[in-house]
Amino acid sequence: MEPILLRAENTNGKRLDSFLAEAVDGLSRAAAAKLIESGRVLVDGKRAGKSCKLAGTESVEVTLPEPEPIDAVPQDIPLDVVYEDADVIVVNKPSGLVVHPAPGHPDGTLVNALLHHCAGSLSGVGGALRPGIVHRIDRDTSGLIIAAKNDFSHQGLAAQLRDHTLARTYECIVVGNLREDRGTVDAPIARDPRDRKRMAVVSGGREAVTHWEVLARYEGYTHVRCRLETGRTHQIRVHMAHIGHPILGDTVYGAKKPVPGLTGQCLHAVGLRFIHPRTGEPVELTCPLPDEFTRMLEKLDK
């Protein structure tokens, strides 16, 4: 595969393996260490150790291994396709649909549906169980998700994720009333040291920035639009809970009991903007709120 070229800007003192885990989408720190040890990472044209401290001026070249054969099987699962061409496909994912196979969810996922719909034509960068997947949204979050049909488009979209030009907008209902009309949560996120199944705001975690604005206010609840500047696991859910306003229906970061009428948290990826990796043209897409979200707003309005 073609090497990925990165600039180690604003990384003074950061370890090489940590830098790679943050800069390359879907790459864990352990996987980054293996790439470094195998000689697939060059710093200013030379091999370096995983604990190498970056000065912030280096050029880092990463060569990912060839993708593994795709093991996930095609399944005829209905898809709400919002946009599709020879390079990319954008789907409005329903709440409750898992994005890719994982322990406990071997099939019946978005990946299985995409393999059937696209007749196996998906990028292999994500590996055996995540073909085509450029970014993820949680199982119980609905809305727009983009997948790549070939490695060229996958690498282009992944680069946009890294430099924040792939813009994602969400709407949610949060518990309580936010005092301001808009704001930004700039708080690092990492695994919760007390519960590895959760994420949390942790000093020394990965940079995470969420911009929010109030759309409507109700008694005890607020309808909010969020724009991601970064894309950490559970980012909006963690950030809104961190400022004291967990998302309605979020049983991990908010109230433990499910909310009647909701299949998950009231969080929907309503907008997606990216530069088409082949044409260079901007693509901006939106999708409507799901029925259970609009019913909840109507209920609150009454």
Distance, CA of 231 to CA of 234 (rounded, Å): 8
**Amino acid symbol at 106:** P
Strands (E), 63-178: 81-84, 88-93, 142-148, 167-175
Q: Catalytic: 138? A: yes
**What is the identity of the amino acid at 23?**
A
Helix (H, G, I), strand (E, B) or coil at 7: strand
Q: Determine whether 46 is exposed, middle or buried from the number of CB atoms within 10 Å of its CB (0-12, 13-18, 19+).
A: exposed
Residue 170 pairs in a beta bridge with 226, 269
User: For residues 112-132, b (16+ Cβ closer than 10 Å) or e, as one string?
Assistant: bbbbebbeeebbbbbbebbbb
| Residue 125 one-letter amino acid | V
Q: How crowded is residue 79: how many other Cβ atoms within 10 Å of its Cβ?
A: 19
Which candidate in 17, 138, 140, 250 is catalytic?
A: 138
- Tokens in use for 157? 């979209």
CA distance 16 to 14: 6
Contact 199, 188 (CB under 8 A): no
- How far apart CA 157 and CA 167 sit, in angstroms, is 11
DSSP category for residue 3: P
| Three-state SS letters, 10-38 | CCCCCEHHHHHHHHCCCCCHHHHHHHHHC
Active site residues: 138
